Amino acid sequence: MSGNSTIIRDSFSSKFGVIAAAAGSAVGLGNIWRFPLVACQNGGGAFLILYIGFVLIIGIPVLLSEFSIGRRAQLNAFGSFRAIAPKTKWSLVGLLGIIAAFTILAFYSTVAGWTLEYFTQAVSGKFANVSDMSKNFSDFSSHPYRPLIWQLLFMILTASVVFAGIKKGIEKLTKILMPILVILIIAVVVRSVSLPGASQGLHYLFVPDWSAVTFTTVLMALGQAAFSLSIGMGALITYGSYIQKDNHLLNTSIQVAMADTGIAILSSLMVIPAVFAFTSSGLSEFSPGPGLVFEVLPNVFKSMPGGGAFSIMFFFLLAVAALTSTISVLEVVVAFFKEELKMSRGKATIIASVAIAALGVLATLSFGLLKDITLFNFTIFEMLNYLSANVLLTFGALLIVIFVGWKMGKSQFYDEISNNGTIKSGIYKIIFFIIRYIAPVAIGIIAIAAFFVDGITG
């Protein structure tokens, strides 16, 4: 750690910058592409209620825990655990986060690449001439090199923002893009819920059917909450290490969780009513797979007035949401290489991006050339997707709350979140109680029950 004290650490420069960057990390393909998909596969309304419950009782406490670990230690995810708990094995939790960054970014950059292809298809007006959108998607996603080119381009975009640093890269970009994203999403929601037939989708989304809920459903909701909030792998520990000492961490955590959950709900309002409006009998006619957003929505855009413009907006906003998230995942690895392996930011960015892209290529090819390589019936892409949210992030979140509740302890945690006692709040006690007792037990029970009772299912 000694070397770091002499170097002035890059940091966010304003409160809005912190929110834009952290909400930028949270709001992503997880909200717009993954949430409606997972919700459709796991019972709609019941899933939504479980999801919101998890954001409140687990999400916000873990968010706050991560920010406080990072801001206290002023280091990357691995170094932060080492600094707070020296000479222990806790830094392995940081290492787990670095591994999660690889598995997440590998499959995430596949989908992020698709958004670029679809953006160009939207701009060129191609949807108007396509009669079979499912075929359009499978032809593209199984193509031997087209999706790879987009994926690599997306990794280059991500790397160039991270390369530019915290203030000049990440903060600057997210401050501009996040407000644009919100406006575009609202515009598309208004269009989607006003489509004829949309009300069935709203019914599906908001009226819970508890008979569809199993332990796996509960684990999927928890995994989705962790994935969507970017918790459990150190992205927010890393961002936390760039937050100014006078920032009110609890308020920031609540604002980020609210923004993310609000956008997850808006995204479902964008996608699910459109699915029902398009397929007359809703989901029974349409089996939701990773192409949900890329097959159903272009059809909707094609058949609605002004659809051309909305399709351009939608795929642009999807790419933007993805980019503000991929930079946070890459930053986890870059900060680690930079501080632990003493690399320059440039070298760290290049090495991390190339290594992640190598794994990412396998995820992309698992829709074509490598589609027959499976494990437990999952393709490489599906395996990385499931493993990231339901195993690595869930387990990571569990270890993080145990760390704060039992190792970092009450006094260091209070010191950090109260800015050394300058902010007083009665709620801190409740949050610490949740972190110490409730969150670990809840996460532990769900993870164990899903594994032993339901087994590994999709």
Binding residues for ligand PHE, per CB under 6 A?
Answer: 25-26, 28-31, 104, 227-228, 230, 233, 235, 325, 328-329
In the bound state with ligand PHE, the residue whose beta carbon lies nearer, of 158 and 379, is 158
CA 276, CA 449: separation in Å to the nearest integer?
33
In the bound state with ligand PHE, the residue whose beta carbon lies nearer, of 98 and 442, is 98
CA 367, CA 398: separation in Å to the nearest integer?
32
Q: Per-residue DSSP letters for 307-344?
A: HHHHHHHHHHHHHHHHHHHHHHHHHHHHHHHHHHS---
CA 54, CA 48: separation in Å to the nearest integer?
10
Q: Which H or E element spans position 375?
A: strand 374-375
Least Å distance, CB 355 to ligand PHE, is 17
Least Å distance, CB 274 to ligand PHE, is 20
Least Å distance, CB 423 to ligand PHE, is 27
Q: Tell me the one-letter amino acid at 439.
A: A
Residue whose C-alpha is closest to residue 391's, from 38, 84, 99: 99
In the bound state with ligand PHE, the residue whose beta carbon lies nearer, of 121 and 224, is 224
Q: What is the dihedral of CA 263, 265, 267, 269, to 10 degrees?
A: -140
Least Å distance, CB 285 to ligand PHE, is 28
Least Å distance, CB 233 to ligand PHE, is 6
In the bound state with ligand PHE, the residue whose beta carbon lies nearer, of 68 and 158, is 158
In the bound state with ligand PHE, the residue whose beta carbon lies nearer, of 26 and 84, is 26
- Per-residue tokens: 97: 């986060």
Least Å distance, CB 280 to ligand PHE, is 31
289 conformational bin, left if phi > 0, alpha if psi -120 to 50, beta if neither: beta
In the bound state with ligand PHE, the residue whose beta carbon lies nearer, of 98 and 274, is 98
In the bound state with ligand PHE, the residue whose beta carbon lies nearer, of 115 and 230, is 230
406: Cβ–Cβ under 8 A, 6 or more apart, which residues? 436
Least Å distance, CB 316 to ligand PHE, is 16
Q: How many helices (H) and strands (E) does the chain have?
A: 23, 2
Residue nearest to ligand PHE (CB): 30
Q: Which H or E element spans position 63?
A: helix 60-73
In the bound state with ligand PHE, the residue whose beta carbon lies nearer, of 123 and 180, is 180
269: Cβ–Cβ under 8 A, 6 or more apart, which residues? 189, 192, 193, 202, 205
2: Cβ–Cβ under 8 A, 6 or more apart, which residues? none
Give yes or no for a contact between 197 and 42, defined as CB atoms under 8 angstroms apart: no
Least Å distance, CB 67 to ligand PHE, is 14
Backbone angles phi, psi at 49, to 5 degrees: -65, -45
Least Å distance, CB 29 to ligand PHE, is 5
Question: Angle at Cα 262 formed by Cα 321 and Cα 405, nearest 5°?
Answer: 95
In the bound state with ligand PHE, the residue whose beta carbon lies nearer, of 17 and 30, is 30
Backbone angles phi, psi at 89, to 5 degrees: -90, 5
Residue whose C-alpha is closest to residue 278's, from 363, 365, 200: 200
Give yes or no for a contact between 349 and 334, defined as CB atoms under 8 angstroms apart: yes
Least Å distance, CB 338 to ligand PHE, is 18
In the bound state with ligand PHE, the residue whose beta carbon lies nearer, of 331 and 339, is 331
Least Å distance, CB 389 to ligand PHE, is 8
In the bound state with ligand PHE, the residue whose beta carbon lies nearer, of 359 and 369, is 359
* Cα–Cα distance list, 317 to 27, 32, 114 (Å): 11, 10, 13
CA 331, CA 152: separation in Å to the nearest integer?
17
